[in-house]
Structure 1
Amino acid sequence: MNVAVALPEPLKKYEGRIMDLDSHEMIPLQEWEAVYGPIVKPMFDAWSEKAETDENDKNSPNVPDYPGDIAPIGEDITTRKGCRAPGARDAGRRIEVMNAMGVGKQLIFSSYVGIFSLMMMMNPKDTEFLSSIKDDRQGLATRLLDKYHDWVVGVGQISDRLRPVAPLYADTPAGLVERARKLIDGGIRAIQIPAGNLPGNVSPAHPDLDPFWKLLTDAKCALVLHIGCEGQFFETRDWGKAPAFENFRNLGEFNVDPWSLSILHLPFQNFVSTMISGGVFERHPDLKIGVIEVGAHWVGPMMEALDLWYVNSQAFKTPNNYRLPELPSHYVKNNLRVTPYVFEPVDTYIERYGLEDVLCFSSDYPHVEGGRNMLHTFYDKVERLGPEIVEKFFVTNGSVLLPD
């Protein structure tokens, strides 16, 4: 392995073992047709109409003078952002980027075509998103997602260290199983489903989904929820349509106005709370779920609330009520993995709520919101908790979603 030039000296002992639970491909729209073929043209046209470029917003896919994936990989790698960053377009270079950061394995999420297709599928009534696409939006989204899956499978074959994430949507539990099995047979080790939609149109706790959860568990395929897939959790987003919330930036995956930031975790908290209280992890104790890029401020309070109602709901119990054999917090600590934002007080969360086995490192490379020098920043926060916690945060906790 090459020297990890961007790795802080205290983390050198973990070189090649650090687990990165959030990174992204950032293929600029100028390269979409070369990667996905002519099928992507309607989406290309929709985005080409936008005035913004990466000069205005580093997260933008529009790079008019894109020179190719040629930027050098050096000590400044953790500060490189956008489509021009090394390994953003060329997945073959991502290994070199990981080496420079000391990363052993890395989840790679979609930034554009894959996630945009998923958003069109899970919000069929939202014609404001990519509004220039008028005809057969669902059919186009399905075909584009299949094409993105072809790209994901190809990237996964480059190296087992690269774990490209396949976005997945289906109308029935059987459909989820069928599509997931095809991806797993193609070598995929990570699947993303929307947090704001009923998976297969049933509750995440419904037994009809047990074959899906079992398939993922048996295949050691990570199940992940990621920001940007809130779907139909809100029947309306008009809650946020007020003058006080206008003129704030959109980072592509989410808006940074006060309303959006205050509620962005709610679909994810709802999803995992449903799984926990509905006994999914009791039926599938080896199933692990990652909640990525939603912050970690909500995990401890959620855990306390679940335990509170578990203890006090005894007063309302009838002979036929289902009751978990363990406190809900047991399943949070055993089955849930969460990536905090780089600006959050990770050490405080760990101390206050006992989340030393839950919180995990992520770089969000090369998205802007990943911050600069995230390796240094996260280390400075958890270092005072001792070497065991440091290793859990950077290596051990994330490894359950990136198994061998």
Structure 2
Amino acid sequence: MSETKVELHPTQQITVATDSREILANARKDTAKFGLDDYFIVDVDSHHVELDSWPEIIENIEDPVLRDVGRRHLADWPQGETALSAFTPGLTFQDVGGRIPHQAQLAEYVPPGDNHRDVTLIQRAMDSMSIDVQVVFPQPMLEIGLHPSPEIGLQLMNAYNKWFTSTVLGKDPRIKTMLGLPFENPAASLETIRRYHDHPDVIGFLVTSQRHVGVHNNAYIPVYAELERLGMPIGFHAGPSWGDTMTKTMNRFLSVHAMSFVTCNMTHLTNWIINGIPERFPDLKVIWIESGLAWLPFMMQRLDHEYVLRTSDAPMLTKLPSEYMREMYYTSQPLEITDDALLKSTFDAIDAENTLMYSSDWPHWDFDVPGRIMHIPFLSDQGKRNILGETSRKVFNL
């Protein structure tokens, strides 16, 4: 059940302890202004802070030796709260130098109760933004694909999935997830799908996109075949990296954030299409998450141009790459909305009224409330309804 309403205070300094409902107070104004309670709203991308529960997750590691190492790091190391993870505390600039502190932690008071505090925090965000279904992902675990030890990465992903499905899911039917795959290991990815696909709150599976693997590799074909058979979508969730050959030349996080959230999914999408994965699995629904939209017209034009000149390099394709892209799905966050004309062209290019799905990316520093979609002037009312929830209803069989 939802909590009772919180009393809102005058404008004040926001800290990590500020109640989410106060931070999101303006979202409630949008609800009244646009009548959002009459819309079915699905948030396809939101996050919780799994490091706040890291000791609990460490306890779910299957390997007893690695579990003991994790316990010792938690107890003895100065940065023990990140034990065994690939998370780099010294490069956490997403809170904008402390000016947007809720990005770093949601340390607000949560009264003791039957549910884990993360359940309460998710409910507060959903209620504040008038969200009917929220798909929740981890945060630092999104960097698991860059872990220097694939074996440890596999153990951590399995431990997290076990913890999340038993601790957070099942407490509120509005809370869903696309469960992360241990993608460095195709066999383990297939086992994850078979283990969790029938959980009522697991509505798809996720690849964390910051990783150096070819998604077209034949080893992954059984994974895609199983997802297509089950009718479950696969999502590719972007993330930042300051350590690859391009971003390590950059001296500002702004630059890293602008580029790396896009280039990882650009790479995977190119390999996905040019190697004919959509032809092999025409009924597999594919979602590209948290890369924004501005890159898509560029990719359509670039790939079409190259394909026309070199069709022999992509013998499995039966149509232009852009046509395959219009059959995929995308999430709205972060919505590049600084130029209405460019945004409209982008929406037209991807048939956004039928392929775009709303996402908040809460509680990250650049999150978007549902009212963001309602402010777009060129969308039809049905288009807004589709983006806010109806397309997601279809994709996820809600």
User: Structure 2-normalised TM-score?
Assistant: 0.72
Relative to structure 1, the CA distance from residue 286 to residue 26 in structure 2 (aligned partners, 3 Å threshold; closer, same or farther) is same
TM-superposed CA distance for 1:24, in Å, is: 0.5
| Deviations 1:124-183 (CA, angstroms, capped at 9, x unpaired) | 1xxxxxxxxxxxx65544333222111221233224432223222244433321232223
Question: Distance between the aligned counterparts of 2:372 and 2:187, measured in 1?
Answer: 43
Question: Please, which of 148, 162, 168 is the counterpart of residue 150 of structure 1?
Answer: 162
Question: Distance between the aligned counterparts of 2:299 and 2:111, measured in 1?
Answer: 44
Q: Which runs of 5+ in 1 are unaligned?
A: 72-86, 125-136, 249-254
1:237 is aligned to 2:244: yes
Aligned to 2:216: 205
Relative to structure 1, the CA distance from residue 342 to residue 103 in structure 2 (aligned partners, 3 Å threshold; closer, same or farther) is same
| Deviations 1:10-60 (CA, angstroms, capped at 9, x unpaired) | 64366461121110112563x432565495543684266969998936256
TM-superposed CA distance for 1:298, in Å, is: 0.4
164-173 or 269-278: bigger deviation: 164-173
Aligned to 2:45: 22
Aligned to 1:101: 129
Aligned to 1:69: 110
Question: Distance between the aligned counterparts of 2:116 and 2:240, measured in 1?
Answer: 21
Is the contact made by 1:290 and 1:401 (CA closer than 8 Å) also made in structure 2? no
Question: Distance between the aligned counterparts of 2:187 and 2:153, measured in 1?
Answer: 20
| Deviations 1:174-197 (CA, angstroms, capped at 9, x unpaired) | 332123222324453232213243
Relative to structure 1, the CA distance from residue 289 to residue 11 in structure 2 (aligned partners, 3 Å threshold; closer, same or farther) is farther
SS at match of 1:356: helix
1:324 is aligned to 2:324: no
Aligned to 2:334: 341
| Deviations 1:250-306 (CA, angstroms, capped at 9, x unpaired) | xxxxx32x2552343112012112212222122222212222211111011111222
Aligned residue type for 1:219? L
Where do 1:51-200 residues align within 5 Å? 56=98, 58=101, 61=104, 66=107, 68-69=109-110, 89-92=117-120, 94-95=122-123, 97-112=125-140, 114-115=141-142, 118-119=144-145, 122-124=146-148, 139-154=151-166, 155-187=168-200, 188-197=202-211
Question: Please, which of 380, 390, 393 is the counterpart of residue 396 of structure 1?
Answer: 390
Is the contact made by 2:147 and 2:153 (CA closer than 8 Å) also made in structure 1? no
328-337 or 48-57: bigger deviation: 48-57
Question: Distance between the aligned counterparts of 1:307 and 1:241, measured in 2?
Answer: 30
SS at match of 2:327: helix
Question: Distance between the aligned counterparts of 2:353 and 2:382, measured in 1?
Answer: 9
Question: Distance between the aligned counterparts of 1:93 and 1:21, measured in 2?
Answer: 17
| Deviations 1:33-91 (CA, angstroms, capped at 9, x unpaired) | 2565495543684266969998936256567xx454359xxxxxxxxxxxxxxx99421
Question: Please, which of 371, 377, 381 is the counterpart of residue 376 of structure 1?
Answer: 371
Aligned to 1:386: 380
SS at match of 1:8: helix
Question: Distance between the aligned counterparts of 1:35 and 1:385, measured in 2?
Answer: 43
Aligned residue type for 1:387? D
Where do 1:170-319 residues align within 5 Å? 170-187=183-200, 188-197=202-211, 203-228=214-239, 237=244, 239-242=246-249, 245-246=250-251, 248=252, 255-256=253-254, 258-314=255-311, 317=312
Aligned residue type for 2:392? G
| Deviations 1:76-110 (CA, angstroms, capped at 9, x unpaired) | xxxxxxxxxxx994215534532442222221110
Aligned residue type for 1:123? H
Query: How many percent identity over aligned positions?
Result: 18
Q: Which runs of 5+ in 2 are unaligned?
A: 6-26, 61-66, 83-88
SS at match of 1:164: strand
Aligned to 1:74: none
Task: Provide the aligned C-alpha RMSD in A.
Answer: 3.7
Relative to structure 1, the CA distance from residue 369 to residue 93 in structure 2 (aligned partners, 3 Å threshold; closer, same or farther) is closer
SS at match of 2:159: helix
Is the contact made by 2:232 and 2:284 (CA closer than 8 Å) also made in structure 1? no
User: Structure 1-normalised TM-score?
Assistant: 0.71
Aligned residue type for 2:54? W
The count of corresponding residues between Structure 1 and Structure 2 is 346
TM-superposed CA distance for 1:6, in Å, is: 5.1
